[in-house]
Structure 1
């Protein structure tokens, strides 16, 4: 077993280091963080407008009027419908900052490059008419989830070109005494011209293709196939196997695997949200919400089930104290105390359930949704700290809450025999320490005071 673990560590650790230190993956990860608070805020308004109670609309209509839901959805549309714009700016900013160049200017140039390759037309059919009009506009279709992959690619390429030109020294240098803001503006002039010119040529060439523009090219040839691949049970299971193996070696598996997999899940989530807002059938099972709300409870390994088992059945002082300290953080998805305190890192006894429980959760939840027993997740963005049952109710109705409860209890049964083995080991260690301490205690009865 030790040789196998050593071999696995030699394979996974360099891989994790390469992925975890990659500037482009870090830029994508941090770039999405720019939009995350706004998406959560927008989701709150959308959730209020579509709260999963049959009487909710009637209650709110009586208080706020019949069109209250439309007004409540405006903040959601203002954030979700422009999420690609926010992602482009965030990715450009993050990548330029890693190269120690003007991050703000890079973000702006990335946005301009994205708009260059985006068509400025929307097809519109007036109500009661069969004629389709081509209207000059900034199409929200490409500002939301449909344009996400091109947005990421554009931000990375535009920023890298911008940085490359600056590093080459191709910039206008201003004399001493000129304010720093003015200096930066003129230094960015030549790099910005290069980026804009290159993306202009790309846009021109893509217009010659049967698709008509680069947005359609990327969506049909790259984004749609990737989403189809990511929206599978096999892809989800494989991603989570790697995620938990990384955690086993003390590497943040969520950051490593998420850097590659999360953009796909986010796009799938946005497709569900778009359908949910329009009242259309929700298309995807595998989404970011499926991952956050059904794969794990209490963090990687679904360790909230483990914590509750520890509280109920374990007798060793070490585990009892640790479980008490870990319960509240675990309810809100924070499980570092268990990962490093139990520990789970490099602990072959817990490795099996640590990997098995999330895998079982994913498989059962997938088939429960595929069979129509539980509604697909609606795409609403909840904070990852949202407790179970409540989170299931919000993203997948009461059926989702029931499914979470079932998976949580099942996880407890899977963890039980393994944690009992550890508990027995710790009990023996504590008994041995106590016995040794008693032997080392000095008793005054052992002294012969007459001999002094």
Structure 2
């Protein structure tokens, strides 16, 4: 094992070091850390709004105290859903806003520019190309994780444009008695104007030519075809595609979600009809496969979480403990951007491999009747073990998920130890 780890480290560490020191990639990685506190807190509110109970199966006459408590929680969450999820909508729901500011702030610092001013220039520019105003309201569709790719492009390019105006011929110099704030204000006008004209002009051209904004075009290009989704290997290809996008900071699951979630719902409905007729469910490509694909979030993150909680590195250990509740409920953005997994060539390998193995094992475990096929549409954003039971009402499925987590931990272990050494 030591020889294997040494060879792996000698191969991957130089690549990771080179990428980590590249100015723009470093800005992306560090800039996304700005959003980490927001997504950690926001995820808790999302869990609070989705208690782990299926009300279609709830019977008040036979329910115990715990189930009655969950039912009351569900009633409270449904009644005050808008109020409970408001913190989520203003944190994770505006993730790209925090990202574009953070990345431009970090890159400006690398260039010795005014980081705060360039951060706000990028923020305004991003809003111009990513949102619209209708009836006095601001569209937030691409201000969350769906707009991350756009925010990265805008942040990097806007700083590069602003950097051009740092040259002496573009600088306004005033007498030393004039307050610094006035000088900063005057010197920010030209780069702000140029950025707004270039980006907004490009956005209008795209809208006129294709009838879509830049973020919409990106999403359409990245959305794969749905025809292969009902096949195990096609399903794996789609899930892998989404996970690869995550490694570049793009919310891949949000792109593939309409494909595999809709497929899972339809096939689970077919299984449910069979069970209602007293027959056995027959379709393994049900919603349970989707839950396994994102168990602990993308990339089989529960295995990584187990290692982080016991890590020798304080940063990884602390982040792991903070992420326990979100990750067991399938929300792993704190790990994606906090570890970070984005642009991480070492952890990218298990991040891609782990879900593939999980899906293959789950498919054949259902076909061979080691576990039950899913026939119930279980609640989202609930702990993975609750979803495993509620999807099939079979405790074997719960045990199976813990076996998968143990395997995932083993897969992540050698790569994690290499990455951990950097912090130790």
Is the TM-score greater than 0.5?
Answer: yes
| 2:118 equivalent among 93, 106, 120 | 106
Please state whether the residue corresponding to 2:223 is helix, strand or coil: helix
Aligned length: 328
Asked whether 1:299 is paired with 2:284, we answer no
CA gap 1:288/1:35 in 2 versus in 1, 3 angstroms: farther
Tell me how far apart the structure 2 counterparts of residues 330 and 216 of structure 1 sit (CA, whole Å): 33
Q: CA deviation at 1:238?
A: 11
Tell me how far apart the structure 1 counterparts of residues 74 and 237 of structure 2 sit (CA, whole Å): 44
Q: CA deviation at 1:154?
A: 1.1
Asked whether 1:115 is paired with 2:127, we answer yes
Show the counterpart of 2:403.
406
Show the counterpart of 1:289.
297
Task: For 1:266-415, list aligned pairs within 5 A.
Answer: 266-268=251-253, 285=293, 289-291=297-299, 293-299=301-307, 332=321, 361-367=354-360, 392-393=384-385, 402-410=399-407
Q: CA deviation at 1:170?
A: 1.9
Show the counterpart of 2:86.
74
Q: CA deviation at 1:106?
A: 0.9
Using the size of structure 2 for normalisation, the TM-score is 0.59
Larger Rg: 1
1:236-284 Cα offsets, whole Å, 9 max, x none, are 88999xxxxxxxxxxxxxxxx99x71513x45269869x99xxx89878
Q: CA deviation at 1:142?
A: 1.9
Tell me the C-alpha RMSD between the 2 structures: 5.1
Contact 1:173 1:186 in 2 (8 A): no
CA gap 1:49/1:209 in 2 versus in 1, 3 angstroms: same
Tell me how far apart the structure 2 counterparts of residues 414 and 195 of structure 1 sit (CA, whole Å): 45
Q: CA deviation at 1:7?
A: 8.4
Task: For 1:37-436, list aligned pairs within 5 A.
Answer: 37-54=37-54, 55=67, 56-60=69-73, 67-121=79-133, 135=135, 137-167=137-167, 170-221=170-221, 223-224=222-223, 233=236, 261=247, 263-264=249-250, 266-268=251-253, 285=293, 289-291=297-299, 293-299=301-307, 332=321, 361-367=354-360, 392-393=384-385, 402-410=399-407
CA gap 1:102/1:401 in 2 versus in 1, 3 angstroms: farther
Tell me how far apart the structure 1 counterparts of residues 190 and 411 of structure 2 sit (CA, whole Å): 61
CA gap 1:379/1:114 in 2 versus in 1, 3 angstroms: farther
Q: CA deviation at 1:403?
A: 4.1
Q: CA deviation at 1:50?
A: 0.9
Q: CA deviation at 1:235?
A: 9.0
Contact 2:94 2:143 in 1 (8 A): yes
Higher RCO (C-alpha under 8 Å, 6+ residues apart): 2
Using the size of structure 1 for normalisation, the TM-score is 0.56
Please state whether the residue corresponding to 2:210 is helix, strand or coil: coil
Gaps of 5+ in 2: 55-66, 229-233, 267-286, 324-346, 367-372, 392-396, 415-424
